[in-house]
Amino acid sequence: MLNKHRGEFYLVIGAIFFSMNGVVVTLVLDHMTTFRLAQVRALGTFFLLFLITFIQDRNSLKAERREIPTLLFYGVFGYAMVQLGYFIGISRGVPLSLVLIIEFTAPIWIVLWIKFVRKSVVAKDMWVAIALSLLGLILVAKVWQGFSFDLIGSFGALGAALALAVYFLMSQSQGTKRSAQAMVVWGMGVAGLFWSLVLPIWNFPTAIFTTEINLQGRFSGYSAPGWLLIAYVIVFGTLVPYLFVVGGIRRLSASTSSVIGMLEPVLAGAFAWIWLSQSWTAIQLFGGLIVLIGIYIADRAKTNAK
């Protein structure tokens, strides 16, 4: 059973780690900018995973000269641009819920690419799965509350969706050539270089490492040093989930993987509910159920575009 559904298992585990990380990121962002956090995540993950991979399987890191442009594109658009588009959206005042909904339209762009560019068959059930999952996310996020529109912010979120589609498609295609570890090393290395060009590393706000950060919510009586929370974000919020997700994409189609990835906002809401005592309404619970149904249908759908 596990071998048969190993891809789905990896993607769900990755979504759980990403979702848990959402709460920790919220705490850290009270003390540093989103762009600096993206920088330290990318660089920290790259150096740690590069060391591990170099010791275990250094040959998997090698790339021919003709592969370099593809890997650079993968790192910039599959990693850095997803975060940049997301940050532009929230920095322009677009509600986080709406930014997430737009970002998770990525499965739509993936199946459109598969159908009209690759000229491959997409199962009808996949369209149903995507529609249900998006509807469920809309209910979970309650986007009609505090709705506001900003053209630049909305385009930023749409850019994140397109970049996320690139991430899933290229993780699948490139995953046949090298290990999941090597894929993440290349992606994070290029993303870290991108952020270092945008934000010089010598201006990094190092004071965050010794800042005591309140854990809020159910743990408001406790605090932790910034270095510990950032280390958590790097290891358990970035390195571990990316390895699981890339490993899952290598075993499933990009379209199915992207729909399963829609589980992340639902789980993030659940962890915020548990940790930060944020309440959920009946309609949000119903939305979460619809997302699960959509994911089930996507997993059952058979497509020739893998």
The Cα-based distances of 284 to 37, 48, 182, 269 in angstroms read 29, 38, 38, 9
- With a pLDDT cut of 70, the percent of the chain lying above it is 95
Residue 62: CB atoms within 10 Å: 9
Cα end-to-end span (Å), the chain: 21
What confidence score (pLDDT) does residue 122 get? Answer: 83
Cβ neighbors of 151 (< 8 A, separation 6 or more) are none
Structure token digits, residue 196: 């270092």
What confidence score (pLDDT) does residue 147 get? Answer: 63
> Residue 306: pLDDT above 70?
no
Give 281's pLDDT tier (boundaries 50, 70, 90): confident
- With a pLDDT cut of 90, the percent of the chain lying above it is 54
**What pTM value is reported for the model?**
0.90
Overall average pLDDT of the 20-43 stretch? 90
Span 227-251, pLDDT tens digits: 999 999 999 999 999 999 999 998 8
Give 303's pLDDT tier (boundaries 50, 70, 90): very low
Span 117-165, pLDDT tens digits: 888 888 888 999 999 999 998 888 787 776 666 788 889 989 999 999 9
Kindly report which listed range (15-19, 74-78, 193-197, 274-278) carries the lowest average pLDDT score. 274-278
Any idea which residue has 């119903």 for tokens? 286
Contact 102, 89 (CB under 8 A): yes
What confidence score (pLDDT) does residue 142 get? Answer: 80
The Cα-based distances of 249 to 45, 244, 261 in angstroms read 20, 9, 10
Span 252-273, pLDDT tens digits: 888 899 999 888 888 888 888 8
Mean of the per-residue pLDDT values of the chain: 88
> Residue 30: pLDDT above 50?
yes
